[in-house]
């Protein structure tokens, strides 16, 4: 089976971790013998923006639609305001490719450790999947500024929650929970203080919940949820939340599991009409870019999720096994308390794959 | 000096922890010998709402304005939707009394411990003051629902950020940072994804920052901020963020310091034209209400902040000393790993105050 993958390394360490992921994926294909990759190397990044004034050139979305999946590195550079780079690349891709869920698994990989004492004692206590609404809500993009540049300036951010938009991600979350051993879902909003769209989330949750009698579901406010994650990690399994809330909670989850450098994300179009997109949750990290020290594990885990989405579950498990073996044997970057560089970790993972 | 305090115990454990705080404050006044309290016991709560259809009766705000400060317990009960109870009591009070900053100190009290291994090793690593914008932003209250109750329903939440609103809280935060030994401020937004109001926050930050050359200030995105709090607590000191972001970050801070039950908050009108309001950050906790097990430390710490705001800094320090002594000697509720009830902790703190 041949998979056509569009890879968009982007900026900064995105290029380093994407290179590493491509190398590891090639090795995975080789050792599995069941599939191969054909790469479309897409060079949209902040350099392109400086040159042609946009990240995505005309026809860009159509080009991506020809692929089976997209692998994304990171995007943004200090000379371009972040809201411009993100709204010119990653956010339009999520929106235009109908990638309405963003899935973020978090657990404590072998060879890494959690800053929480409770999880040092028992790493299995933290094993979560965060399902993030990825197409609307606080990132709908509406709002504006009145009296800009004057002492009276007023800026608004308009979060838009549509019933179909909520329903589809809610069903996805219940399906995800139903497919996991504990069948546990926690739905997060801030409907006490935000009483319009957030209350609609609660209402849709109540309805969809009735369709899934085997899933044990409960509700939390986003502020209280951070406490539960820190103090009672084992009480959680699948989590569903809005675009902004889940963005915050998933970074927190990654930190509680040890490092943002290991965390993966999948931007999915569950209808499979468009290619889905896989990206580590780390950013372009200008401070460490070009030094060969970026942690490639977030990219590897994202690559594993991509391979799983493409139907190669066994190969995905194999890749994660290799990543964990390598980490357990000491191939760890600085953020995980180790001393290896990107290349050493990548080579160690390839070696594990070969030896399996 | 006689201080007139309006106390609003509210619902659930709010009544228990407020009673405890009143008792401790009376003892503090007695042992200090420099001031006394006159109480206005205000019985607005969910029972009142069920009876008269509102929490705040006509003339209520004027009644509160006669006090030097307000002590608040908690509000909300399961039979009344949270967005109704909160928008009928605590949020209107914050808005109508111009309490535009909410200050949330967090540190690891003696006798309590953090879930973070790094802070178990060194509790001084976590010592933060979170300054929360308390009057607008994501809690401005605007938004609505179109096609309500139909498959096409759309709900919006409109976050409103005004330049004067941002400026005043930003100055307060810089002043707070300037008054602390490390003179360190971290400003939090999500201006990469939210490009209107959040970008205005960033702009105001840049301007106000120029007025405070001695404060070392930096900027974070709210998602990345959660990681920094978990992984590099010592790198933070004073933090300023929007209404919603700081709400989330301050609950996280409380959990990282050990329990939401110890965390205080001050709703301040820095102009002192209106009374400020002091409340533990815990809610009404229907699950444990009436059992005498609620942690009163959040209420005691809030009481200490109130006394400090009233100008009695020495007495405030004394109260915190007593709270920490009592905890260190074992007077701790279950959430802190102890076995004491509300009354035992309260008595222990009073005893400490007497013995000082
Ligand atoms: C890059 C940025 C727009 C993004 C987001 O906030 O969605 C990132 O933080 C993420 O979590 O994927
Ligand atoms: C009670 C509720 C409205 C409140 C808030 O979200 O502001 C609470 O969570 C807090 O943090 O003070």
Which positions of chain A have pLDDT values less than 50? none
Reported as a single tens digit per residue, the pLDDT across A6-35 is 999 999 999 999 999 999 999 999 999 999
CA–centroid distance, B243 to ligand 2, in Å, is: 9
Q: Are residues B246 and B268 in the same domain?
A: no
Does one domain contain both A47 and A66?
yes
Residue A88's pLDDT is what? 93
Q: Which residue has the tokens 């009695």?
A: B312
Q: How far is CA B32 from CA B5, B36, B132, B298, B317, in A?
A: 17, 9, 32, 21, 12
Q: Which of B227, B257, B287 is the last residue of a domain?
A: B257
Task: Assign B27 a pLDDT band (cuts: 50, 70, 90).
Answer: very high
The pLDDT tens digits of the residues spanning A209-240 come to 999 999 999 999 999 999 999 999 999 999 99
Question: Which CATH number fits the domain that encloses residue B174?
Answer: 3.40.718.10
Tell me the CA–centroid distance for residue B320 and ligand 1, in Å.
40
User: How far B215 CA lies from chain A's nearest CA (Å)?
Assistant: 22
User: How is A319-334 classified by DSSP, letter by letter?
Assistant: HHHHHHHHHHTT---G
Kindly state whether residue B84 falls inside one of the protein's structural domains.
yes
Residues spanned by the domain of A267: 1-104+263-356
Closest approach of A163 to chain B, Cα-based (Å): 5
Closest residue in B to A260 (Cα–Cα)? B227
Q: What's the structural domain count of chain A?
A: 2
Instruction: Examine the domain organization and report whether B83 and B183 are in the same domain.
Output: no
Angle at A191 between CA A187 and CA A196, to 5 degrees: 120
CA dihedral for A130, B248, A170, A7, sign (positive or negative): negative
Examine the domain organization and report whether B63 and B125 are in the same domain: no
Ligand with minimal distance to A95 CA: 1
CA B238 to centroid of ligand 2, rounded, Å: 20
Half-sphere exposure of A215 toward its Cβ, with a 13 Å CA cutoff?
A: 29
Q: Is there a contact between B248 and A248 if contact means CB atoms under 8 Å apart? A: yes
* B230–A197 CB contact, under 8 Å: no
> Does residue B109 form part of some domain?
no
Give yes or no: residues A230 and A276 share one domain.
Answer: no
Measure the CA–CA gap between B17 and B26, rounded to whole angstroms.
14
A80 interfacial to chain B (CB closer than 8 Å): no
**B139 to chain A: which residues are within 8 Å by CB?**
193-194
The Cα of B206 is separated from the nearest Cα of chain A by a number of Å equal to 13
Q: Note the pLDDT of residue A49.
A: 95
Q: Whole-prediction pTM value?
A: 0.96
- Decide whether any atom of ligand 2 lies within 6 Å of the B90 Cβ: yes
B227/A83 touch (CB, cutoff 8 Å), yes or no? no
| Structure token pair of residue A65 | 């639609």
Q: What is the pLDDT of residues A119-149, one digit of tens each?
A: 999 999 999 999 999 999 999 999 999 999 9
Tokens representing A195 are: 């009483």
Q: Is the CB of B86 inside a 6 Å radius of any atom of ligand 2?
A: yes
Q: Do A191 and B87 touch (CB under 8 A)?
A: no
Structure tokens at A139: 């990132």
Q: Does A337 touch chain B (CB under 8 A)?
A: no
Mean model confidence pLDDT for chain B: 97
Confirm whether B234 is domain-assigned: yes
**Binding-site residues, ligand 1, Cβ < 6 A:** A 86, 90-91, 247, 281; B 192-193, 223
Q: How far is the CA of B247 from the centre of ligand 2 (A)?
A: 7
Instruction: Specify whether B8 is located in the same domain as B56.
Output: yes
Co-location of B121 and B232 in the same domain: yes
Of A240, A257, A274, the domain-final residue: A257
**pLDDT of A325:** 98
B247 lines ligand 2 (CB under 6 A): yes
- Determine contact, residues B108/A110, Cβ cutoff 8 Å: no
Dihedral angle computed from the Cα positions of residues B9, B15, B19 and B22, in that order, rounded to the nearest 10 degrees? -20
Q: Is residue B95 part of a domain?
A: yes
How far does the CA of residue B313 sit from the closest CA of chain A (Å)? 30
- Each residue of B268-281: pLDDT tens digit? 999 999 999 999 99
Residue A243 Cα to ligand 1 middle (Å): 9
User: Quick one: B67 and B118 in the same domain?
Assistant: no
Q: How large is the average pLDDT for residues B104-127? A: 97
- Closest chain B residue to the Cα of A120, Cα to Cα: B117
Q: Which residues of B touch A192 (CB under 8 A)?
A: 76, 82-83, 85-86
- Name the domain boundary from B217, B238, B257: B257
| Ligand 1 mutation target, pool A89, A247, A264, A284, most atoms within 8 A of CB | A247
Q: Does any domain span residue A109?
A: no
Look at residue A135 and tell me if it is in a domain. yes
A244 and A123 share one domain: yes
Closest ligand to A191 CA?
Answer: 2
CA A88 – ligand 2 centroid, Å: 35
Asked if residue B107 belongs to a domain, the reply is no
Residues A241 and A276 in one domain: no
Q: Cβ–Cβ of B191/A244 closer than 8 Å?
A: no
The reply to whether A310 touches chain B by the CB within 8 Å rule is no
B116 touches A at CB < 8 Å: yes
Interchain contact B226–A (C-beta under 8 A): yes
pLDDT at position B121 is 95
Q: Are residues B79 and B181 in the same domain?
A: no
Tell me, what's the pLDDT at B335? 94
Residues A85, A27 share a domain: yes
pLDDT, position A103: 98
Tens-place pLDDT, residues B173-229: 999 999 999 999 999 999 999 889 999 999 999 999 999 999 999 999 999 999 999
B239 within ligand 2 shell (Cβ under 6 A): no
């Amino acid at each position: 089976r041949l998979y056509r993958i569009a890879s968009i390394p982007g900026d900064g360490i995105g290029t380093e971790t994407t290179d590493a992921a491509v190398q590891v994926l090639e090795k995975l294909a080789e050792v599995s013998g069941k599939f191969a990759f054909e790469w479309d190397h897409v060079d949209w990044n902040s350099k392109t923006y400086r040159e042609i004034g946009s990240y995505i050139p005309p026809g860009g979305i159509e080009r991506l639609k020809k692929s089976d999946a997209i692998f994304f590195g990171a995007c943004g550079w200090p000379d371009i305001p972040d809201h411009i780079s993100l709204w010119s690349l990653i956010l339009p891709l999520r929106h235009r490719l109908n990638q309405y869920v963003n899935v973020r698994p978090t657990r404590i990989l072998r060879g890494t450790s959690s800053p929480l004492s409770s999880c040092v004692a028992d790493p299995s206590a933290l094993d979560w999947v965060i399902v993030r609404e990825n197409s609307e809500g606080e990132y709908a993009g509406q709002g504006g500024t009145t009296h800009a540049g004057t002492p009276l300036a007023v800026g608004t951010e308009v979060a838009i929650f549509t019933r179909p938009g909520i329903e589809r991600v809610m069903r996805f979350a219940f399906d995800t929970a139903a497919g996991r051993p504990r069948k546990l879902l926690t739905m997060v909003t801030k409907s006490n203080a935000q009483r319009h769209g957030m209350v609609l989330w609660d209402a849709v949750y109540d309805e969809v919940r009735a369709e899934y009698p085997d899933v044990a579901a409960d509700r939390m406010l986003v502020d209280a949820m951070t406490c539960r994650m820190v103090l009672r990690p084992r009480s959680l399994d699948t989590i569903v939340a809005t675009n902004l809330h889940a963005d915050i909670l998933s970074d927190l989850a990654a930190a509680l599991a040890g490092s943002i450098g290991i965390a993966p994300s999948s931007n999915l179009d569950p209808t499979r009409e468009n290619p889905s997109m896989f990206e580590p949750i780390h950013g372009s990290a200008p401070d460490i870019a070009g030094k060969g020290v970026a942690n490639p594990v977030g990219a590897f885990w994202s690559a594993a999720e991509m391979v799983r989405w493409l139907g190669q579950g066994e190969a995905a498990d194999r890749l994660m096994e290799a990543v964990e073996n390598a980490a357990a044997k000491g191939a760890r970057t600085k953020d995980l308390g180790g001393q290896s560089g990107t290349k050493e970790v990548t080579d160690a993972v390839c070696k594990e794959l070969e030896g399996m």
